[in-house]
Structure 1
Amino acid sequence: MKPTIVLVGRPNVGKSTLFNRLTRSKDALVADLPGLTRDRHYGHGRVGEKPYLVVDTGGFEPVVDSGILFEMAKQTLQAVDEADAVVFLVDARVGVTPQDKLIAQKLRMSGRPVFLAVNKGEGANRAVVSAEFYELGLTAEPYVISSAHGDGVWDLIDAVLSEFPDAVADEVATDHPVFAVIGRPNVGKSTLVNAILGEERVIAFDQAGTTRDSIHIDFERDGKPYTIIDTAGVRRRGKVDEAIEKFSVIKSMQAVEAANVAVLVLDANQDIADQDATVAGFALEAGRALVVAINKWDAVTPERKEQIKKDIARKLYFLDFAKFHYISALKHKGIDELFGSIHQAYNAAMIKMPTPKITRVLQSALERQQPPRAGLIRPKMRYAHQGGVNPPIIVIHGNALHNIKDSYTRYLIQTFRKAFNLEGTPLRVQYKSSENPFEEKREQISAQPLRRAKLSNRIAKKEEKKQLKRKVKVSVKKNVKS
C-alpha cells in the first residue's frame, strides 16, 4: 500500500507550492494570499525513490470554532487522521508563532509521524534558521527547505519515506478480479456490495459519511473467485463523528490502487459533483479499468433522467472508454449487467495481445493515415509490442517518434481499442525512437568538405608565408651587395 503524506501548516507557508513540486504538477493554486486553499488536493508523489500519495490541506486554524476556517480545520484534522506521515510546514522568515505551537501540539496528539519542514529558507544558514524551531518540541530534526526552488525537498522526502518498507507499491492480484466500489457518501455503495454478494454482508443505512475504512471481501460468483473492496467502511451509528462530512478520498485512492477495476457509483438524485470527476480522474491516472453505475435510477422522473445523462456526458466526457449502467441496488435491478461489464473490463485490462497482430494493426492504421510531418521529417513507425497490463500498454518502435502529435496518438488508441475490443479499460501508447547508426557517419561525411576547405586554407597560408620569407631574403641579399 502506498503511504499517504499530508502537508499541514498555517496559511501562506507554502504548502501548495510544495504539493506542486512533489507531484510535479500545477494542480494546486499558488499565490501570495493566505487561505487560498480551502479543500484538500490529492496527487501521486513523483519526487523520491518510492511511490506515495500526497495531500495538500488548507491553512490550519486550530482555535477557530465557526465559519469557513472551522470547516477547513476539520478537513485538515481528518486528513491527519488518515495519514501515514505528516509534513508540518513553518515559515523561516516569520519564525515560530503561537499558531505554530498550537498546531504542533495537535500533531503530537495525533500519534502520526511528524516531520518539520522550515520553508522559505533559501540562501540562509540552515543551522541558524532551524535553531528557533526546536522549541516546537517535535522529535524529528527540522529540515530547512525551499518549496519554490526545490532546496532540501529531496532530503525531506527521503527522510519521510525511509520510515516505510521498500515494497510500498501495491501489488494487484492478477489470479482473480479485484474491484473497488467508490463514490460519494450515501450513493448506495454498501447497498450495491450487498446486492452483488447476495447477502447483507456490510451494514448500509441512510446516513452520509459514516464510514472510512476499506473492507476486502472474497466471494465466488458462478464458480469463479472475486474480491470486492467496499470503500465505505462500517461503523455503528454511535461511533459516527459529525466532522466526517465527506467520504474519504484517500481511502478511495488507496482502494483504486489495490484493485484491477474501479466501480464508480453515482446517485441519480444528486448532481454530478467535482469530487466524482476527481475520483474518476484518479482511477484514469492510475490506469485502472472503470465501470460507472448510476444508482437509484428507479426513483427519478424522466426529465431528471435526461438531465443526468447530459451532465454525465459533459462532466465525465473523459470516460469514453467506460460502460455506464443505470441500476437500482436496493431493488437488485441491473446488477447482473453491471457485473458482466466489471468482468469484461477486467478481461480487457489483463489482455495478452500477440506481437504480430499488434504490428499488423499498426500497419493497417498507417495505411489509412500516416502521422503528420514535423517540418521536413515524417515519424516512421516500424513495429509494436505489448509493454504491460492493467492498463494495457502498447510500445511502438521507430524513428523520430518524439514528433508524434497527441491527436495522432488518440487515433492509434482508438484503432487498437477497436481491434482488440478493449472496453472498460484505459489504453496507453508509448514510443521508443531508435538511434540511426548511420547518422554519425553521415555527419562525418558531411563534415569532410569543410575539413578539406580548412586544410586547404592552412596549406595556402603556410605557402604564402614561405614565399614572403623568400622575398625578404632576396631583398636583403640585394641590399647587402649594393
Structure 2
Amino acid sequence: MKPTLVLVGRPNVGKSTLFNRLTKSRDALVADFPGLTRDRHYGHGKVGSKDYLVVDTGGFEPVVKEGILHEMARQTLQAVDEADVVLFLVDARQGLAPQDKQIADQLRKTGRKVWLAVNKAEGMRRDVVTAEFFELGLGDPLAISAAHGDGLRELIDLVLADFPPAAEEEDSQHPKIAIIGRPNVGKSTLVNSILGEERVIAFDAPGTTRDSIYIDFEREGKPYTIIDTAGVRRRGKVTEAIEKFSVIKTLQAVEDANVAVLVLDAKLEISDQDASLAGFILESGRALVIAINKWDNLPLEQREMIKREVERKLNFLSFAKLHFISALQGDGVGGLFKSIDKAYSSAMVKLSTPQLIRALQLATEKQAPPRAGMFRPKMRYAHQGGSNPPVVVVHGTSLEHVPDSYWRYLEHSFVKMFQLEGTPLRVQFKRGDNPFAPKEAPIPGRASSKPGARRKPVSAPTPRKPRGAPRGGKKS
C-alpha cells in the first residue's frame, strides 16, 4: 500500500500549488484567491524516490461551526483521519498567524505524525524564516518553495523515510465516470450516494464544487473512477475568472472520461444549456447516461411534462438510457449503475472484421446507397478503427458521394446489429484508388534514377504548319 500524505493549512498558503508540484500535474486549480479549493483532491506523488498518494484539502477553519467553511473543515478532518502523515503548511511571507496555532492544536489531537513546512521561502534565509514557527511545537520547521520547487525533494525523502517502498501495482483499465450538469442539480449528492459517504461537499448553494474531483472506488469488486465536476452555466452568465477555469476543468473531465452521466433537475425545465452540454458530450464521442434527479414527491403532471421535454429537446440522444432517480434518497442509483456498465462495455467493444463485413453487406442489401450521377458508391469491406466511441472504417469507391442520410443509416444499422447501448458509433469512409485510372505521363527531360546519369537536353518542339500552307518559303 502506498502511504497517504495529506496537505493541511489555512487558506492561500500554497497547498494546491504544492499538490501540483508533487504530482507533476495541473490537476488542482491555483489562483491568488483564498478558499479556492473546497473538496479533497487525490493524486499520485512523483517527487522523491518512493510512491505515495497526495491529498489536497481546502483552507482549514477549525473554529467555524456552520456554512461552507464548516463543511470544508469536515472534509479536511476526514482526510486527516485517512492520512499516514500530515504536512502542515504555513506562510513564510505572512509569518505566524493565530489561525496557525489553532490548526496545530487540532492536528496534535488527531495523533497523526505531523511535519511543518514553511512555504514561500524562496530568496530568504532558512534559519531566519523558520525561527518564529518553533512556537507551534511541531518539531523543526522545513523551509520550502512550492512555486519554485526549492527543498521539495529533501522534504519528501525526510517525510517518507520511515515508510517501506510500495509494491508495484498493475495498471488496469476501468471505467471513468464524469458527472455533468448545471449548478445545483445534485451532482455532488449523487456522487456521495454512489460512494455511500460524504466524500464531496453537497451544499444547498450553486457553485459549491469548483474543481473536478477524481475519486477511485470499488463497487461489487470492480474498480471505478468517478469525477465530480463543477456546474456549467450559460456562457453569458460566467463572469468570474474562477468559474471560467471551473468550466474548462469540467469540459476536460468529459474528454478524459469513458462514460458521462448528464444530471438534470426534474423540478426545472430542460434548458438550452442542458442541450448544449449534451451536444458537447456527443461531439466528444463519450458514452452517455441521462439521470433525471429529484424525482421523488413530484406531481404526476410535472413528471409527464419532463418526459415530453426530454423527448422533444434531447431527441438526438436516443441512444442514451434514461433514468429517474433521487440522489438524496438513493432511489434508482443501482439501476443507473447497470446502464453505466452497459454503456462502458459498448463504448469499449471489440468488433471483428468478418462480423463488420457481414453487417455491412446486410445493410447495403437492405438499402443500397443512392446513385451519384452515373455511378453508385460501392462499399467493399469494413473494419474497426477505434473505440470510445467505436469507429467503423468502410472502404470502397466513390464514397465521397455518400449523403449524410445514408451515413446515419449505416451508423444506426451497426448499433442495432451489434446491440450497442448508451454509446454513439461513428462511421468513417476511406476511398480506394482505382487501378484502372490513367497514369500521368512522365515529365520530359526528367533525369534518370540511376546514379551518375546525365540529364539530356530537351529541344523545343518544332511548330507544325497548318494544313494547306506552302512547303517552302516565298521565292524572291
The change in CA–CA distance for 1:2 and 1:284 in structure 2 (over 3 A counts) is farther
Identify the residue that residue 187 of structure 1 maps to in structure 2. 185
Q: Which residue of 2 aligns with 1:97?
A: none
Q: Does 2:376 correspond to 1:389?
A: no
1:408 corresponds to which residue?
406
| 1:377 aligned residue (375, 378, 383) | 375
Aligned to 1:298, the other structure's residue is in SS state: coil
Residue type at the aligned position of 1:386 = Q
Contact 1:180 1:230 in 2 (8 A): yes
Aligned residue for 1:278? 276
Partner SS state of residue 292, structure 1: strand
Aligned partner of 2:338 in structure 1 is 340
Q: For residues 268 and 247 of structure 1, what CA distance do their matches in structure 2 show? A: 28
What do residues 67-119 of structure 1 show as CA deviations (whole Å, max 9, x unaligned)? xxxxxxxxxxxxxxxxxxxxxxxxxxxxxxxxxxxxxxxxxxxxxxxxxxxxx
User: Is the contact between residue 179 and residue 262 of structure 2 (CA under 8 Å) also seen in structure 1?
Assistant: yes
| Contact kept? 1:263, 1:290, Cα under 8 Å | yes
Which amino acid counterpart does residue 281 of structure 2 have in structure 1? A
Superposition map of 1:20-419 within 5 A: 175-232=173-230, 248-419=246-417
Q: 1:242 to 1:252 in 2, by over 3 A?
A: closer
Distance 1:185 1:315, change over 3 A: same
Distance (Å, rounded) in 2 between the aligned partners of 1:190 and 1:196: 10
Output the CA distance in 2 between the equivalents of 1:393 and 1:461.
61
Shift of 1:228: 0.3
Asked whether the equivalents of residues 201 and 209 of structure 2 are also in contact (C-alpha less than 8 Å), the reply is no
Query: How far is the alpha carbon of 1:205 from its aligned partner?
Result: 2.2
Please report how far the alpha carbon of residue 248 of structure 1 lies from its aligned counterpart in structure 2 after TM superposition.
Answer: 4.2
Cα deviation, 1:321-352, whole Å, max 9, x if unaligned, reads: 11110011111111111000001101011010
Q: Distance in 1 between matches of 2:288 and 2:307?
A: 18
Q: Distance in 1 between matches of 2:313 and 2:464?
A: 74
User: Residue 200 and residue 2 in structure 1: after superposition, are their counterparts in 2 closer, same or farther (change >3 A)?
Assistant: closer
Amino acid at match of 1:199: E
- Say whether the 8 Å CA contact 2:210–2:243 is kept in structure 1: no
- Counterpart Cα distance in 2 of 1:333 and 1:188: 13
- Partner Cα separation in structure 1 for residue 417 and residue 356 of structure 2: 9
Q: Percent identity?
A: 63
Aligned match of 1:428 in 423, 426, 429? 426
Q: In the aligned structure 1, how far is the partner of 2:258 from the partner of 2:434? A: 39
Rounded Cα–Cα distance in structure 2 between residues aligned with 1:427 and 1:174: 24
Q: What's the TM-score once normalised by structure 1's chain length? A: 0.54
* Change in 2 beyond 3 A, CA 1:391/1:337: same
* Contact 1:386/1:394 (<8 A) preserved: yes
Q: CA deviation at 1:179?
A: 0.6
Taking the aligned partners of 2:422 and 2:249, their CA distance within structure 1 comes to: 22
Q: Which amino acid in structure 1 is aligned with residue 333 of structure 2?
A: I
1:20-59 per-residue CA deviation (whole Å, 9 max, x = no partner) reads xxxxxxxxxxxxxxxxxxxxxxxxxxxxxxxxxxxxxxxx
- Following TM superposition, by how much is the alpha carbon of 1:460 offset from its aligned partner in structure 2, in angstroms? 8.8
Distance 1:323 1:244, change over 3 A: same
Whether the aligned pair in 2 keeps the contact of 1:394 and 1:430 (CA below 8 Å) is yes
Q: 2:301 corresponds to which letter in structure 1? A: E
Cα distance in 1 for partners of 2:244, 2:317 equals: 24
CA contact (8 A) 1:268 1:305 kept: yes
C-alpha distance 299-276 of structure 1, shift in aligned 2 (>3 A): same
Question: What is aligned with 1:34?
Answer: none
Q: 1:246 to 1:439 in 2, by over 3 A?
A: closer
Deviation, 1:174, is 7.2
Deviation of the 1:247 alpha carbon: 10
Distance in 2 (alpha carbons) for counterparts of 1:320 and 1:414: 11
More helix by share: 1
| CA distance, structure 2, for counterparts of residue 191 and residue 413 of structure 1 | 36
Equivalent residues of 2:215, 2:226 under 8 A apart: yes
Once the two structures are TM-superposed, the CA of residue 250 in structure 1 deviates from its matched residue by 2.2
CA distance in 1, matches of 2:292, 2:226: 18
CA RMSD of aligned residues (A): 2.8
Counterpart residue type for residue 209 of structure 2: T
The letter of the residue matching 2:381 is Y
Letter in 2 for 1:340: K
Letter in 2 for 1:319: L
Contact map agreement 1:185 1:246 (CA 8 A) in 2: no
Give SS of 2:296's match: helix
> Structure 2: how far apart are the matches of 1:213 and 1:185?
13
User: What one-letter code is carried by the residue in structure 2 that aligns with 1:268?
Assistant: A
- Residue type at the aligned position of 1:302: L
Q: Is the 8 A contact 1:348 1:424 kept in 2?
A: yes
- Count residues with an aligned counterpart: 281
Q: 1:323 to 1:247 in 2, by over 3 A?
A: farther
Partner Cα separation in structure 2 for residue 399 and residue 232 of structure 1: 47
For residues 248 and 320 of structure 2, the distance between their equivalents in structure 1, rounded to whole angstroms, comes to 23
SS of 2:438's equivalent in the other structure is helix
Structure 2: gaps spanning 5 or more residues: 1-24, 28-170, 232-238, 442-462
> Do 1:195 and 1:329's aligned partners in 2 also have CA atoms closer than 8 Å?
yes
How far off is 1:380 after superposition? 0.6
The separation in 1 between residues aligned to 2:384 and 2:172, in whole angstroms, is 17
Shift of 1:206: 1.4
Counterpart contact for 2:230–2:247, Cα < 8 Å = no
Q: Deviations over 1:292-311 (max 9, x none)?
A: 00001113110001111111
